[in-house]
């Protein structure tokens, strides 16, 4: 699945499978790599041992600083292709030519934890896409939520200090359930909308392949005639949006801390390529002030029912990285990497980001030439008069490195806009220099309420539980009370329930913003339901009928459902019933559904635990038992929704259940 970018990367790969022989970095062949050079077999190591020193020095410097936020992530290569030309609204080449296949690299991440933290924590997910276009790299550096915690970038260091592990203990890792985060929320009411999202199921996605992406800010698209539209970018997952339940996410953090990373890697290796459609919400320049929110405020979304999302193209991730450090760790994104036809708005959060990203790469990647690292290089030519610096990889030729020069015909010379040179949109600005917040940014609660109103009852119940969990972990009663006071502005009954649960009193005055407005697009209950790429554990007890078994597995495979046969011990015989994971090496939380097949009179406790856990997490369950009594002691109700007895129900019914995903109506 090579594209222009992956072909380019091949120029930088080295394959040690070829018989090169071991050398130093200077190319000297090494005869001995197990023993340092010593003065006598039992004597001290000698300074002269250049091989030891080189090997050890390199090792000592293998680590680079992790990202200050979004440290844990996973990346993959892919392509983007447009459905039809958008030349009416932008002159960006990759958005006007539907026959063009643009290589992309995407890095997904969590925000709070360090590089070694768990994948399934409650957190925002980063969704950063680098388009390697023929006009230069375009980076869409977004998240899986459409709004942000703060309105002005100057608060970003404060926000990050509050959410990161606390400075005196470096606790907690990969979690926002602690005092400084909730103190920040309570003290900064602009966070109200975003914190509703983070307490919702959006913050615990089932898969990185099953979540939306958002550019968050309002950007600008400009066409060849110079006409401008404001735009919000969306990524819509073809598999729909799905999430864990909280108990499951917590258990997976222990059972498989790499769950999301592995899920993405395996899907791509299997050829089940993750796909997203790119969506645009567009507002013509002249309609900027026609909304009941300020479109420059990054704590506001544009309800899809008011500003429809136009689907304009598809991204497919179809190649895993071949070296995590070289590609995923060294990739450097920046919202300021734009191409002609894409421009910025005056969102004060975006404006600050335009400074921060290059700056951070200087310390993370060690100097100003990080754009020359293979993963970061554009696929189009790049020339300018910048020279030298740490890790310069290019041998620039010639006498001149300045503009204007007469000695080299002023090359490299600026390119006029008509020939593809970037030109900033000539926005008219008229104002006083001021440190302050626009009054139009002061409505903190209406959209927090809009989001809550839009959720299905079970989603609202999850939000209540999430607030109760997180605030229940806080120690300061002052912090807890302030957070409840914030919720009191959003939804009185939510504030009431959380207050009861965490032992603080509800403010006497009801401050709830009055609005029954909702936006169905915000609820995940309305998403696409499909069995594709879901994972089933087939728990095998005894020796089930091979033919019947083959019929089921064929049906699952036909519906692109992946399955693993789980049993007490691993088998190595080539047999369709071969057990490849045991009760010890895997766990029910790692699957979307369970099929229990038993030929025995009784079912062992670990197999019962498999189906009980699956039942408890509202997931579909199929049973094919030679003895129904074997389940007499299990805490599973056979007549409940999403439980299929394969002696009288079809495998197709179970597959439909897998598509549905969860059965919230189960009384638990």
Residue number with the smallest Cβ distance to ligand HDD: 126
Which range in 11-19, 112-120, 350-358, 503-511 contacts ligand HDD by CB under 6 A?
350-358
**Residue 364 annotated as lining a ligand binding site:** yes
Quote the Cα angle for 393-394-395, to 5°.
125
Residue selected from 80, 94, 156, 552 as contacting ligand HDD according to rule CB under 6 A:
156
Neighbour tally for 580: CB within 10 Å? 14
Nearest approach in angstroms of CB 488 to ligand HDD is 27
Which of the ranges 69-77, 114-122, 381-389, 511-519 carries the binding residues for ligand HDD, by CB under 6 A?
69-77
By CB under 6 A, is residue 213 in contact with ligand HDD? no
Which one of residues 3, 51, 73, 498 is an interface residue with ligand HDD (CB under 6 A)?
Answer: 73
Residues catalogued as catalytic? 70, 143
Q: Does 67 bind ligand HDD (CB under 6 A)?
A: yes
Write the binding mask 78 to 117 for ligand HDD: x where contact by CB under 6 A, - elsewhere: -----------------------------x-x--------
67 carries a ligand binding annotation: yes
* Contact criterion met (CB below 8 Å) for 95 and 341: yes
Residue 141 lies near ligand HDD (rule: CB under 6 A): yes
Q: Which is nearer to ligand HDD, 356 or 649 (CB)?
A: 356
β-strands 621-625, 593-598 pairing: parallel
- 358 lies in the binding site for ligand HDD (CB under 6 A): no
* Binding span for ligand HDD by CB under 6 A among 195-203, 236-244, 347-355, 541-549: 347-355
Q: Which of 9, 86, 95, 128 binds ligand HDD (CB under 6 A)?
A: 128
- What secondary structure, in 3-state letters, does 220-272 show? EEECCCCCEEEEEEEEEECCCCCECCHHHHHHHHHHCCCHHHHHHHHHHHCCC
Stretch that binds ligand HDD, among 148-156, 197-205, 472-480, 488-496 (CB under 6 A): 148-156
β-pairing, 593-598 vs 535-541, is parallel
**Side-by-side strand order, sheet with 535-541:** 581-582, 562-567, 535-541, 593-598, 621-625, 643-645
Q: Identify whether the C-beta of residue 449 lies closer than 8 Å to the C-beta of residue 460.
A: no
Q: Which range in 139-147, 309-317, 425-433, 544-552 contacts ligand HDD by CB under 6 A?
A: 139-147
DSSP string computed for 150-175: -SSGGGHHHHHHHHSSPTTT---TT-
Residues from 280 through 309 that contact ligand HDD (CB under 6 A): 298
Q: Is 142 a residue that touches ligand HDD (CB under 6 A)?
A: yes
Total of residues contacting ligand HDD (CB under 6 A): 27
What one-character-per-residue DSSP string does 452-482 give?
A: HHHS-HHHHHHHHHHHHHHHHT---HHHHHH
357 is in an annotated binding site: yes
- Number of other residues whose CB lies within 10 A of the CB of residue 355: 12
Say if CB 309 and CB 283 are below 8 A apart: no
36-50 b/e (C-beta count within 10 Å ≥ 16 → b): eeeeeeeeeeeeeee
Residue among 117, 118, 129, 143 that touches ligand HDD (CB under 6 A): 143
412 conformational bin, left if phi > 0, alpha if psi -120 to 50, beta if neither:
beta
Q: How far apart are CA 237 and CA 276, in angstroms?
A: 4
Q: Which of 197, 276, 333, 610 binds ligand HDD (CB under 6 A)?
A: 333
How far apart CA 138 and CA 337 sit, in angstroms, is 5
Rank residues 353 and 480 by Cβ distance to ligand HDD and give the closer one. Answer: 353
**8 Å CB contact between 540 and 579:** yes
Site for ligand HDD in 443-482 (CB under 6 A): none
CA 343, 349, 352: angle at the middle one, nearest 5? Answer: 80
- To the question of whether residue 115 is assigned a binding role by annotation, the answer is no
Find the binder of ligand HDD among 70, 178, 209, 260 (CB under 6 A).
Answer: 70
515: three-class secondary structure by DSSP:
coil
| Structure tokens given for 478 | 């002052």
Q: Does residue 348 belong to the site contacting ligand HDD (CB under 6 A)?
A: no
Q: Please say which residue, 213 or 544, places its beta carbon nearer to ligand HDD.
A: 213
Interacting stretch for ligand HDD, rule CB under 6 A, among 326-334, 402-410, 468-476, 601-609?
326-334
8 Å CB contact between 309 and 236? yes
Instruction: Assess 229 for contact with ligand HDD (CB under 6 A).
Output: no
Compute the least distance from the CB of residue 67 to ligand HDD, in Å.
4
Q: Is 107 annotated as a binding residue?
A: yes
> What's the full length of the chain, in residues?
668
Q: Which is nearer to ligand HDD, 80 or 549 (CB)?
A: 80
- Name the residue nearer to ligand HDD (CB basis): 151 or 460: 151
Per the annotation, binding residues are 67, 107, 156, 353, 357, 364
Chain residues binding ligand HDD by CB under 6 A are 67-70, 73, 107, 109, 126, 128, 141-143, 148, 153, 156, 216-217, 298, 331-333, 349, 352-353, 356-357, 360
Per the annotation, binding residues for heme are 67, 107, 156, 353, 357, 364
């Amino acid at each position: 699945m090579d594209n222009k970018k992956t072909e380019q990367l091949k120029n930088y790969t080295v394959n040690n499978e070829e018989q090169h022989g071991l050398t130093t970095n200077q190319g000297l062949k090494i005869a001995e790599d197990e023993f340092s050079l010593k003065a006598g077999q039992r004597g001290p190591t000698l300074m002269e041992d250049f091989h030891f020193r080189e090997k050890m020095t390199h090792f000592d410097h293998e680590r680079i600083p992790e990202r200050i936020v979004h440290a844990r992530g996973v990346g993959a290569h892919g392509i983007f292709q447009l459905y039809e030309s958008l030349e009416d609204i932008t002159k960006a080449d990759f958005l006007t030519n539907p026959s063009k296949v643009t290589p992309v690299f995407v890095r997904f991440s969590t925000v709070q934890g360090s590089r070694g933290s768990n994948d399934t924590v409650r957190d925002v997910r980063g969704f950063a896409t680098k388009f390697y276009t023929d006009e230069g790299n375009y980076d869409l550096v977004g998240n899986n939520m459409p709004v942000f915690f703060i309105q002005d970038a100057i608060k970003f260091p404060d926000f990050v200090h509050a959410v990161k592990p606390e400075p005196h203990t470096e606790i907690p890792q990969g979690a926002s359930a602690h005092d400084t985060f909730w103190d920040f929320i309570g003290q900064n009411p602009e966070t109200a909308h975003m914190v509703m999202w983070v307490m919702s199921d959006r913050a615990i996605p089932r898969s990185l392949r099953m979540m939306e992406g958002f550019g968050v800010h309002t950007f600008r698209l400009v066409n060849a005639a110079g006409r401008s539209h404001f735009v919000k970018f969306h990524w819509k997952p073809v598999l729909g949006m799905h999430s864990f339940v909280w108990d499951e996410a917590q258990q997976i953090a222990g059972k498989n801390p790499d769950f999301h990373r592995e899920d993405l890697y395996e899907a791509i290796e299997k050829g089940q390529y993750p796909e997203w459609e790119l969506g645009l919400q567009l507002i013509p320049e002249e309609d900027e002030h026609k909304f009941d929110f300020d479109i420059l405020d990054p704590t506001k979304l544009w309800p899809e029912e008011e500003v429809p999302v136009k689907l304009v193209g598809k991204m497919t991730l179809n190649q895993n990285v071949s070296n995590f450090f070289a590609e995923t760790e060294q990739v450097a994104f920046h919202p300021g990497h734009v191409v002609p036809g894409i421009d910025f708005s005056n969102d004060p959060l975006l404006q600050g980001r335009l400074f921060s990203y290059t700056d951070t790469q200087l310390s993370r990647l060690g100097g100003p030439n990080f754009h020359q690292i293979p993963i970061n290089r554009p696929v189009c030519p790049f020339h300018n008069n910048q020279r030298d610096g740490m890790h310069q990889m290019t041998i620039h030729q010639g006498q001149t490195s300045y503009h204007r020069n007469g000695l080299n015909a002023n090359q490299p010379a600026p390119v006029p806009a008509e020939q593809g040179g970037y030109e900033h949109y000539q926005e008219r600005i008229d104002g006083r220099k001021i440190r302050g917040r626009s009054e139009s940014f002061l409505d903190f609660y209406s959209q927090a309420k809009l989001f809550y109103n839009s959720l299905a009852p079970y989603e609202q119940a999850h939000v209540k539980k999430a607030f109760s969990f997180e605030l229940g972990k806080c120690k300061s009663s002052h912090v807890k009370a302030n957070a409840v006071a914030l919720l009191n502005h959003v939804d009185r009954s939510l504030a009431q329930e959380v207050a009861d649960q965490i032992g603080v009193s509800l403010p006497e005055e009801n401050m709830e913003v009055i609005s029954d407005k909702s936006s169905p697009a915000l609820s995940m209950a309305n998403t696409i339901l499909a069995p594709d790429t879901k994972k089933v554990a087939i728990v095998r007890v005894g020796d089930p009928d091979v033919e019947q078994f083959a019929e089921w597995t064929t049906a699952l495979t036909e519906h692109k459902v992946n399955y693993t046969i789980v049993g007490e011990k691993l088998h190595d015989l080539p047999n369709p019933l071969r057990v490849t994971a045991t009760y010890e090496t895997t766990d029910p939380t790692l699957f979307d559904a369970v099929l229990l097949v038993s030929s025995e009179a009784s079912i062992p406790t670990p197999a019962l635990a498999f189906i009980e856990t699956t039942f408890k997490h509202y997931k579909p369950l199929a049973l094919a038992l030679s003895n129904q009594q074997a389940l007499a002691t299990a805490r599973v109700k056979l007549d409940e929704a999403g439980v299929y007895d394969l002696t009288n129900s079809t495998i197709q019914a179970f597959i439909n259940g897998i598509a549905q995903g969860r059965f919230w109506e189960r009384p638990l």
